[in-house]
Structure 1
Amino acid sequence: MNKSNMLASIPTEIKEEIFEEILSKDGVKIERIISYGHVTPEGKWYEQKDSEWVMLIQGEAILEFENSKEVKLFAGDYINIPALKKHRVSWTKPNFKTIWLVVHY
């Protein structure tokens, strides 16, 4: 058993969004994502075959869904994204490390 912390070991400089797998087993994957003003490239959509539970640990972000609906997330907020639901990150707080906890299932 190893103890860790979602807010530890964060690089001081983040040029590209960081995706870190924490655990993967029996069709479930848990990851930490670190954004620093990063967004999904214009015109690109995520459309995963698995559902995705997303919690914002630190920072602020806006998720945009294909139907133009936007959901603003603050630290502590979470959302469940059904499989095949097209979505993208349209905004994260500039000059601030936004920390996501994501469970793919």
Structure 2
Amino acid sequence: MNNIFTLPDMLPDGEMIEALIPDRGILIERIISNGQSSPPGFWYEQERDEWVVLLQGESELLWEGGRKIILGAGDWVLLPAGERHRVERTSTDPPCIWLAVHGKMV
């Protein structure tokens, strides 16, 4: 048995991304962010839809065109494939724990 809230003894400098089940068309992963943000000028433009819920911490997402949201614990968002977005910031105290599901949803 595993616990989604268990953090490694020492968080890596970068984000920690771990698949929770094998990817057979649907990928479920846990992401731990500790103050990370997207590099300047970088935009995610994914091939699959992504449903993501922030389980712990606070984060800010920005879409191309200026739409911006702040996520807190329990907030979720559906990011359709091809929708350009970026992570503006993630908290460090506490670190962000995300649950992300990638697949065909829209």
Q: TM-score, normalised by structure 1?
A: 0.91
Q: Offset at 1:28?
A: 0.2
| Structure 2 residue ranges without an equivalent (≥5) | none
Secondary structure in 1 matching 2:20 = strand
| Runs of 4 or more above 3 Å deviation | none
Cα distance in 2, alignment partners of residues 42 and 11 from structure 1 = 30
Which residue is 1:98 aligned to? 96
Q: Number of paired residues?
A: 103
Which residue is 1:86 aligned to? 84
Q: What letter corresponds to residue 104 of structure 1 in structure 2?
A: H
Cα distance in 2, alignment partners of residues 74 and 98 from structure 1 = 9
Which residue is 1:18 aligned to? 16
Contact 2:57 2:73 (C-alpha < 8 Å) held by counterparts:
yes
Cα distance in 2, alignment partners of residues 102 and 18 from structure 1 = 13
- CA distance 1:25–1:14, change in 2 (3 Å): closer
Query: Structure 2 residue aligned with 1:42, among 36, 40, 43?
Result: 40
**Identity within the alignment, %:** 40
Structure with the higher fraction of residues in strand conformation: 1
- Aligned alpha-carbon RMSD (Å): 1.3
Q: TM-score, normalised by structure 2?
A: 0.90
Which residue is 2:70 aligned to? 72
Secondary structure in 2 matching 1:24 = coil
Contact 2:57 2:93 (C-alpha < 8 Å) held by counterparts:
no
